[in-house]
A and B are shown apart, each in its own frame.
Chain A
């Protein structure tokens, strides 16, 4: 398998082609089998490949394969090259594993949809693109598939494109991503200009020599790369597309906007660790943006009423944690959190989808309540995911989040740690709020929806259970921190990054872990007080702080700010250009040419009098002139 790495991403590509061209003809059952089967095959090949990788010695776990040559211009070479090392190994397992479960879930969720083949076509295309993104061995290929997953995101968010809001959300996602991608492209170009190559091993080998540590150039490169990550992974200030992306079908939200695509930014920063290591300023920026985003998004999630939006803001917040981890040098911890987050966040989205499906489309949590009796499997898997997200021991989220926070402390970044800790408190609160309001308490469900209320079919609940098992157990591969199976596997990738966490720190690991747990439990208890013991508390809080509540509910008016700062001026500029330039200048000159011809012909046609005598006369005059010229001038 290791000598044929292309076998990992090729199956979803085949699935995309088959479902794309023949989907309508082969029928729903076949489409589902092709789509899920292709991702399943990717999962199998990934597992085999990783097993073979593990069989190699710890220093030598790095396999490359050039599938085909691509660009060879002068000294520059960029090929279709694949790289399997521990970092990409973790990514392919997450992408194909969670992807497979979501594909199976979608068979149930999208069953009634008339565009069933198109959905699976796009999902397969996405899975292929994401696998290629994480397996690429050079920045150019990474960029190509970075754009490709952005395209799939646009296609899938706007899947129900006849709905105006969905089409707008797709556009917003693509355009905001494009802004980030512009920075990313500039970073890649700068990298090539200075180093002359874009292949990972060559870049990381020559960077320390060519780029002075802490210098302007390397800081510029890494900041530009991070701008791209900001867009793709929904951090401040380019996060605004992700909440709107909830217009897409819930499996899309689970796969693309929780588990995989949005993590591409984290992967890219982690992959570029040797470069970021040379630019401490950039690392600080990454950590701060991560920490601020984590808290910012968590505060918004506190008061949202749409179940998918709560989970969306939670995703933005958790991505902030991952960048926080990268920024303090705890790259392995960040990737660990990426993996655990993939499981419980996908579970939260799929669980939300199950609730929405059971309630015939209701998404407002104020119209839910007491659903545990009717949807028990959905309820307990959702609870496990919520607790894992909150960082409760011994679920997966506890281990990964705590390790990131410990990394912050160990590196001396106390303020960033405080941001992370504050975010953890808020996370526990809003997650349990979501669980209580949806599944416990009094039922506020509409009579019509209550009539059809049912637990989801096995094809949807089975993935939920599997994901719950992972959310609970996968944390243990990272135990004990820095010496667990996971760490011994992944650490060599980041060994070169000297900004990595020093193993000795001011405070011990166990006390910090207990503190993290205490913060999370405190948040959970606060939520229990607000929504179980004293259910009148939320309304009283809103009464006491109406303005603060409104600001949070309206998401700090960031969308309105962007609308006024960027969208309106551009739109007005376009209208001005349309009226002044396109209508007046361009149309004017084209019509002007026609007008000149018309006026000219109005004048010239008077020669055509139709009167033979005139023609004869001009004939005679012409002859005289010519004869005169020949006789007298020559």
Chain B
């Protein structure tokens, strides 16, 4: 028996929600980045599910783009975190409040 589409979508939604909660809740910058990666992968899963069930190649190709963007973003983001750590001795986003009024 084939796995129904809804199962894949439900899984993606669950993963995406988990990622969102992680971004909204966690204080450690690295954990936030991990949550962002989780959201991106959930989206990848959605694209692939639809690509399989609609028999189209566009979904597969788009996943490549998403992965490239994710990689670039990680590179830049980690560089920023390292710079912040060198300045502030912390990666806790709650302590980065210089833009407070």
A: which residues have CB within 8 A of B?
605-606, 608-613, 616-617, 620
Contacts and interface: CB of A to CB of B under 8 A. Distances in A.
Contact of B97 (A605, A611, A616, A620): A611
Interface in B23-50: 23-25, 27
B9 interface: no
A610 B93 contact: no
Contacts of B23: 616, 620
Contacts of B100: 608-611
Contacts of A610: 96-101
Ranked 10 nearest A-B pairs via Cβ: A610-B100, A610-B97, A610-B99, A605-B101, A608-B101, A612-B93, A617-B24, A611-B97, A609-B100, A616-B23
A605 B99 CA distance: 11
22 contacts: A605-B101, A606-B101, A608-B99, A608-B100, A609-B101, A610-B96, A610-B97, A610-B98, A610-B100, A610-B101, A611-B94, A611-B97, A611-B100, A612-B93, A613-B24, A613-B25, A613-B93, A616-B23, A616-B24, A617-B24, A620-B20, A620-B23
Nearest to A611: B97
A125 to B, nearest CB: 63
Interface in B69-96: 93-94, 96
B96 A612 contact: yes
A609 B97 contact: yes
Contacts of B93: 611-613
Nearest to B23: A616
Which residue among A606, A608, A612 has the maximum number of chain B CB atoms within 10 Å of its CB? Answer: A612
Contacts of B96: 610, 612
B21 to A, nearest CB: 10
B24 A620 contact: yes
Contacts of B99: 608, 610
Contacts of A612: 93, 96
A613 B101 contact: no
Contacts of A616: 23-24
Nearest to A615: B99
B25 to A, nearest CB: 8
A267 B23 CA distance: 96
B59 to A, nearest CB: 20
Contacts of B24: 613, 616-617, 620
A631 to B, nearest CB: 13
Contacts of B97: 609-611
A616 B27 CA distance: 12
A345 B20 CA distance: 103
Contacts of B20: 620
B45 to A, nearest CB: 19
Which residue among A609, A610, A617 has the maximum number of chain B CB atoms within 10 Å of its CB? Answer: A610
Contacts of A613: 24-25, 27, 93-94
A611 B24 CA distance: 12
A612 B94 CA distance: 7
Nearest to B95: A611
Contacts of B101: 605-606, 608-610
A161 B58 CA distance: 91
A617 B22 CA distance: 11
A633 to B, nearest CB: 21
